[in-house]
Amino acid sequence: MDKRVGELERLVGSSSTTLDETAPLPPALLPLLTRINTQLTLLTQPRHIDSISRRLKLLLSDLERVSSASSAQAQKRASSNGTGTAAVVGAHDNLLPLLTRLAPSLPHIPHILTRLRTLSALHASAAEFQGTITTLEEEQRRTREALDALNGAVAEVESSLEANRGTVSG
């Protein structure tokens, strides 16, 4: 147990706990684990994955528009020696705040997309498994109904045999 806690502290970065009064205490493990758990919960729910996927698609399309606008602006500058149109400059000014807002997230996008792809495959497998379970439950229900019908027929035959036995002996 101590090895596990030590390994967890090493991974989280709080294993260098010293009782020195000048050094700040490392962050508590429980809030960190709770935060990681909530993030994992969010990333494993299909509706959140769909929402993240839609946001990423919108962001990528915005980035493509910014890129095309900036390349078009660069071409116009090269062809007209720096005299740009007001529309291109306005579009560039509108998309620049979006790009600055997205810049910190750009390194994480490939990892998020990879995670979304793996989770999408996992959810597809889960849906297929659910379909298989539903089919099996339906087959089990039909088998149970057939078995109940056979039990009823056997009970009817047994009661008929008892009645016939009573008639023959009586």
Structural domain spans, the chain: 53-104, 131-170
> What is the Cα–Cα distance from 94 to 20, expressed in whole angstroms?
51
> What is the Cα–Cα distance from 85 to 107, expressed in whole angstroms?
33
* Over residues 93-115, mean pLDDT: 81
Structure confidence at residue 133 as a pLDDT band (50, 70, 90): very high
* Over residues 26-54, mean pLDDT: 80
Structure confidence at residue 80 as a pLDDT band (50, 70, 90): low
Residue with tokens 């596990």: 4
Per-residue pLDDT tens over the stretch 145-169: 999 999 999 999 999 999 999 999 8
Q: Provide the angle, in degrees to the nearest 10, between the axes of the packed helices 46-80 and 86-102.
A: 140
CB atoms within 10 A of CB 116: 16
Q: What is the amino acid identity at position 53? A: S
Q: Is the pLDDT of residue 58 over 80?
A: yes
